Structure 1
Amino acid sequence: MASPFAYAGGMVQHMLFEAADSGDLYIVKGMAMLLDEGRGRPGKAVQAARLGGIDEAVDGMGVQHIAASKGRLGVCRYLIEELRMDVDDVDEGGKTPLMMAILLKHVSTVKYLPDHGADVNKASHDGSTPLHLATRLGDCGMVQLLLAKGACVDPVAYCGTPLHVAATQGQDGVMKILLDHSADFNKMVDGRTPLAAAMSAGELKCVNLLIEAGGVVSRDHTSTAAKGGSTERFNYSMEETGANSNISDNGKPVSKRKATELKSLGNKAVEKKDYLSTTGFYMDLCPDDATLFSNRSLCWHHMGDGGKALLDAYECRKLRPDWPKAYYRQGSALMLLKDYESACEALYDGFKLDPGNSEIQDALREAMESWKESASTEVNKGRLEVCRYLIEELRLDVDDVDQEGRTLLIIAILFNHVSTVEYLLNHGADVNKARNDGFTPLHLAYCGTPLHVAASEGRDGAMKILLHHSAGVGGVVSGDCTLTAEESGLTEHFNYSMEETGANCNIFDDGEPVSKMNKAELKSLGNEAVEKKDYLSATRFYSKAVELYPDDATLFSNRSLCWHHMGDGGKALLDVYECRKLRPDWPKAYYRQGAALILLKDYESACEALYDGFKLDPGNSEIENALREALESLKASAITEVC
């Protein structure tokens, strides 16, 4: 999955947020200096850094929010004590760093922030204070800590006072603490007291605590018995009157009313884009209610958590397999996870249930477009089954092109996937369709005439045979049976011509069959060529080794180096992607990727790749120096763009 801080206002800000998230104080300080650009006010520069355009749940968050949410106390100290940043900084929802530390239960950070000026009574835009949040979590220690730091015990939010929250959530432990601190048990919010809230929620422990504290109930015999605080008398009155203890004031069963209430609160929170609170309202009180899973899946999606969104969508679909919305939620979650194939399947299943649903239709179209964009990647990997599905079932254009004008056939040829080439040709691919630079599939397959191939590959034996058969040194071959066989795709004719002349197309220039040369020999020859700075020859040796051993990351790394020295950033980058895929824990792969991206002048992506490598091996001076170079280049290019 991509980083949650990707494109957070530029690469430097991105790295600042990543470092705050991981607690890397050294990087945080370095990025603060870069953001300041020598103005001498790093605190102001860092304060201005904000997350945005990623997900509404985190929009407006600053570095302090990230550090506090992960309990990175060292980073918090630096930001507050050295950079003098506002300790009560708020995001777009009004949440402070203290609130984030509470939500993620980082006690040491919660202790630190009030001691350094954090307002324990500062409310978010919906009125919730830190005490409301700690109460909802049922964290008794956190509640006691906040009260000891001066938190007001009865602040009012849209959900009521903290005592209302404790009553609704059944947090009897927290309720005892609040009552011990003189919380107002008869406080009326939206026409309800904490006791009424506890009764409607069916939280009998909380009901008893409030009655014992003196909470007033003016209802029927059931309420009167409960008011006496005697469980025996309460049960007795139930039996005597035939009353149902699960019936609330309006005659609805408590469990149903609670589900309705929570769902309503959740929906209101969604309207306010407070998705974090919403997930708390959509509880497991009614595990058979598919709409609750659907709604919670939506919240996880908005918060960028595709995994949880998908789990809830699966539960929703399991409960209501005939509900199109369940398939829409599943497709959305899979899109977030970039599993476009599965997303298409889920959305298509939903669309079949409701063909007139424009929401599903639009989502399916988007998923298909995303999958279409990834089709070239799939062809690169030679995934024939995926190609079949894209072309035969989704009816994608077999001659669709990318930005460089490359068709699927051209890409399959470039990566030497013979079975994919054969399939595409058999399903209508235009063998003569050229890319933007005029190269056709045949040009790319043979790099010109067979004589060009033999010369570029250093195959002296093949050159002699071709010259013997009148191959023109000017690049034009006339009447040559070998070329005719190749251009016509007639492999049998090609093999026949080889047999007639006694030529062996697998003979290497030293007379040894390529198939008999092992990886070590080919790699050694490549390394020797690199030492001689003969990078062209080196790429040929490494290429032969890759054909025999496609799972060796070092071969891709070495060949990437050669392409880099030859100034071909595109090929260098392609090889390094394969290298990184094979060994995602190898710092060298990230270094090679960064070097290729610098060559392509994509400094932002280079910084990201090199930073990933630096995190794997912080002591690697080679990567560190390259990262510094990339950062400087990024900064210089940004200044140039502004000018």
Structure 2
Amino acid sequence: MQERSPLHEKKTDVRVVRFLLDHGADVNRRQDDLCTPLHQVVRNRELEVARVLLEHKANVDSQDIEGKTPFQLMIEDGDQDGDQDGDQDIDHVDDGILDLGQLLVNHGADVNIRDEDYNTPLHQAMATDTLWYADRAEILLKLGADPNAENDAGETPLHQLFKDRDNFEVNPENYCDFEDSIICNVELSLERGAEVDTPCSDKWTLLHKAAFRGWPSVVAALLDCGANVNAKTKEGETPLHMVSQGLYNPRDHPPIDHDIARLLVERGADVNAQDEDKNTPLHSAALGGRLEIVQVLLDHGASAVVENGRGESSLHLVSKKEYPRYKDGGAGIAQLLLERGVDVNALDEHQNTPLHSAAFRGVLEIVKVLLDHGAIVDAENDEGKTPFNLVLRGDFGDYDRVGIARLLLKRGADVNARKKNNTTPLYSAIFNSATFYGWVEIAQMLINRGAIADAKNDKGETPLNLVSRGRYYPEDGVGFARLLLERGVDVNAQSKSKITPLHSAAFRGKLEIARVLLDYDAIADAENDEGETPLHLVSRGDYRYEEGGVGIARLLLERGVDVNAQNKSKTTPLHSAALKGRLKIVQVLLDYGAIAGAENNEGKTPLNLVLRKRLHSKQRWSPKVGFGIVQLLLARGVDVNSQDKYHNTPLHSAAFNHRRSIVHLLLDHGANPCAENEQGETLLHEVSRIKDDTRGIGIARLLLGRGVDVHAQDKDDNTALHSAAFNGRLGLAQVLLDHAANPTAENDQGETPLHYCHEENLTMVSALHDYWWSTVWTSTEGRGTCGLRYI
């Protein structure tokens, strides 16, 4: 650690400094942070000490551990000057700092020195929100800082005045002072040769940024300095577009947005200028809910009927309600635009009217204005959707939805209007109840006004099908179901795939709805187009809480549903429950006489299916559940060595999925550890097929201990070692080698396990090579019999 020298002490007496230097003190001695005495005295604002150090050849360009020179520290370290809160007079330039800076510059300090982002000190000073830094920017400009220097983003220092302030909100107490500091730096920079219209990388000029931030005095100053009022950004937006969509909040200080807009148009801004998407400033102001700006633009000749590139008028955009800070402006803007001749039924590129937009966004007050001006209540867009269809699919609160629905119906909306997929408003209301709760009121409203309760969509589903599978509170679901059934909806109506409402309720585990449907004489054993009964569907259903599914299964079985009914693939409900891992339903089915050893059309029993489930499947369940199902099936006498049509046994499946506890259980119940499938694959082949070297090693040891042949070959003459090598199973390969597996065994292509090693698995190659060398080549029988071409 470097010792601190007297020259580094704070507030050192100039006479002491001169004495030390005259007697050989190192003027450029560095501390651990690489600061020299000049760094220290500049940070302390000690002008005369700095002068003495520089007279003794102090290195003005030396950098500390952060790469900063003394000049940069002078600009950045504001705490030595006290107040940074904006209370000082920005017209006063700290002559002490100016003198210190001039001293450094006179001795070669680079006033335009760059940091890693190629920013100069002037960039940094102008990028900070405090008035103290505004004062420093003035000092830098007086020291000769280049106002046109560009950083690696192509931005000049003046661009930094408006950068990185997305979360900046003006404080009413210091707004004027802050804006004055901006103007001061703008004017001083322009006096020193700054280009007023220099664009940054996105072609925003200073005027764009000042308008966007809502700084009227700065806008005026820039215009007075010749800023181009119609300059365009990369997206073709003018400053007038910017003020119409800016990031400022008029509640924080007196309204200024329309003042800026008025100033711009009075200085020649084109009120009908279009950006690349053909949006005018009026489009932007309408979309932002800026009522005062809309009024200014219209008063200065803005066209109210011009369309953007999507065929939208300003009326379409204000109806979209994208102005959270201007909640009361939308209806006023809509009224203004309609008074200026905008077509209330104008169509955009998708044939949406403003009423479609307002209904979808839930803007009740604008819906009222539009309807009062003759909006067509049942206008259809290019998807056949009316405003009423959209109000039922919108993303807003239930209060506005109910109010808009009631208003549209009062104005004559067709309660049975169909979209292109034949969906009616009633269907949409029930569909959306899956996400937005409490829609029974709207459904009741629709039915009371004559909605067809059993209208089918293009899938042949009635609203009852939908309510039977919806994700909502049970009381809402039951309410919907009773409402529809009381209006005569067919409880056994089938969709195009022959799914009844009871099928749907069973699949979703909706016990209370299933009970209502059965009370209304739903057919308990109706079959869909796959031959599945509701009992099949509840056994493989998609629901979180198994209690509902168990209740439905009992309910159906009590109504006489065949527990062993087979679908078209001869799958029984027990097959489905075992495959899905529904332990409690498996128990219920077995208690009601399900055949534990029933085979489907692939010869698989429920035991085959519960064990064939892949571990990485999205539908996997807890190992305890699988183990429990196997125990239940074995207790009911299922054949532990049953083979499917591919001759796989349950033990093949358990080994393939690395279910060690189940492999133990099956072996203890007499499973044959040497069974082969139709490909001649043993259980060791199955264990070695998965590319996960952390699993299956224990099963392999268990099987080898039960007498499984380590040299067994399948129909292609591959051994388990071939498969382990191919799948990169190093740990398993070592176990097989330890049990005398032959690394030189050839399959029917003449390939040994070494051929199957991937190039990147050098560890596997090395293991096989080492084993061959130590056990085969060194043996009398091995020498000369195994070609080195395999190693």
Whichever structure has more helix as a proportion of its residues is: 1
Is this a same-fold pair by TM over 0.5?
A: no
Greater length-normalized contact order (CA 8 Å, ≥ 6 residues apart): 1
TM-score (norm 1): 0.32
Larger Rg: 2
